[in-house]
């Protein structure tokens, strides 16, 4: 590929793993990340592996246009993630997750981006009418959190808008777990593993509840799969397929029963 692949949030939890995955695929990778959590060491490591790093906010028009210059593909991961963080400052979360995403997509269209992958969430399904029945991409969306509502809104805009030939794919990621350069310990499996390692007592609520999980490296491979998919794949059928494929491949469709400790 002669052009550049841009990854917003490319030094984050999923982002750093995705940057490494796409670099291994032979792509030229450019990261746009505000490094909110002090990931300067991660950015330096990604630079050493061959990535170009632009420290900037997706709300900054100049930073967006600079990142998109000469690019062919865009992976949009940057966001204020999860309902607790969004509920803490709904105004800022709307500025980043909704307005920032809308501006980024508009700039990508103007820049002639050919492929767009958007990180969405399986929280979009919300409270399922029958949680015992497996759900597909065509399942009803019933978001119950501000974060999921924002993701649903952007999905709809991406999948039903006119993008002048740009192919959007929305990946509804399951709850992510696993070791990555930028660790998160607010995610269930990671939190439980840390506490057990520290010999803490593990308190489990609702042991009969279950939720889907995907390893962070599988999430990164799902992004690569979506980018590598044939251009003529029906875009309205692509908005969860790659992420689900990798989750099934690793876990053989096994449902891991764990504690449900609040919303996604």
Which tens digits make up the pLDDT trace of 89-112? 999 999 999 999 999 999 999 999
Report the DSSP pairing between strands 167-173 and 115-121: parallel
More confident of the two residues 185 and 50 = 50
> Which pLDDT does position 89 carry in this prediction?
93
Judged by average pLDDT, the poorest of 157-171, 197-211, 235-249 is 235-249
Distance (Å, rounded) from C-alpha 264 to C-alpha 260?
A: 9
Domain 4-175+216-248 sits in CATH at: 3.40.50.720
Q: What's residue 108's pLDDT? A: 95
- Mean pLDDT for the chain overall: 85
% of the chain beyond a pLDDT of 90? 59
Question: What is the distance of C-alpha 99 from the center of its chain?
Answer: 17
Smallest Cα–Cα separation from 163: which of 115, 121, 119? 115
pLDDT band for position 161 (cuts 50, 70, 90): confident
Rounded to two decimals, the pTM is 0.85
- Residue 113 CA neighbour count, 13 Å, CB half: 29
CA distance 2 to 70: 9
Q: How far is CA 77 from CA 29, 53, 80, 83, in A?
A: 14, 15, 10, 16
**3-class SS string, the chain:** CCCEEEEECCCCHHHHHHHHHHHHCCCEEEEEECCCCCCHHHHHHHHHCCCEEEECCCCCHHHHHHHHCCEEEEEECCCCCCHHHHHHCHHHHHHHHHHHHHHHHHHHHHHCCCEEEEEEEHHHHCCCCCCCCCCCCCCCCCCCCHHHHHHHHHHHHHHHCCCCCCEEEEEEECEEECCCCCCCCCCHHHHHHHHHHCCCCCCCCCCCCECCEEEHHHHHHHHHHHHHCCCCCCHHHCCCHHHHHHHHHHHCCCCCECCCCCCC
pLDDT score recorded for residue 233: 62
**Stretch among 38-47, 52-61, 113-122, 159-168 having the lowest mean pLDDT:** 159-168
Between CA 88 and CA 86 the distance in angstroms is: 5
**Spatial distance between the Cα atoms of 4 and 112, rounded to a whole number of angstroms:** 12
pLDDT band, residue 237 (cuts 50/70/90): very low
More confidently predicted of 58 and 247: 58
The CA-atom distances, in angstroms, between 186 and each of 85, 125, 178, 189, 264 are 11, 21, 12, 9, 11
66-75, 97-106, 190-199: segment of lowest average pLDDT: 190-199
CA 12: distance to chain centroid?
A: 10
């Amino acid at each position: 590929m002669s052009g550049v692949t841009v990854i917003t949030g490319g030094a984050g939890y999923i982002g750093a793993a995705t940057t490494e995955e796409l670099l291994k695929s032979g792509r030229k990778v450019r990261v746009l990340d505000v490094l909110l959590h002090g990931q300067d060491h991660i950015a330096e490591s990604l630079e050493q592996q061959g990535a170009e790093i632009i420290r900037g906010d997706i709300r900054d028009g100049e930073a967006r246009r600079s990142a998109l210059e000469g690019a062919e593909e865009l992976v949009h991961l940057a966001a204020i993630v999860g309902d607790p963080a969004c509920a803490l400052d709904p105004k800022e979360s709307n500025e980043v997750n909704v307005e920032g995403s809308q501006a980024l997509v508009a700039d990508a269209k103007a820049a002639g981006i050919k492929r767009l992958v958007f990180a969405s969430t399986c929280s979009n399904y919300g409270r399922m009418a029958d949680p015992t029945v497996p759900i597909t991409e065509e399942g009803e969306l019933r978001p119950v959190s501000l974060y999921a509502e924002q993701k649903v809104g952007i999905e709809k805009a991406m999948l039903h808008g006119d993008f002048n030939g740009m192919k959007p794919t929305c990946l509804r990621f399951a709850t992510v777990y696993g070791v990555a350069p930028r660790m998160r310990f607010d995610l269930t499996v990671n939190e439980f593993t840390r506490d057990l390692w520290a010999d803490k007592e593990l308190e489990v609520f609702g042991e009969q509840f279950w939720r889907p999980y995907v390893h962070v490296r599988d999430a990164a491979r799902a992004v690569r799969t979506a980018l590598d998919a044939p251009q003529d794949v029906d875009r309205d059928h692509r908005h969860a397929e790659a992420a689900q494929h990798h989750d099934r491949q690793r876990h053989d469709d096994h449902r891991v029963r764990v504690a449900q400790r609040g919303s996604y």
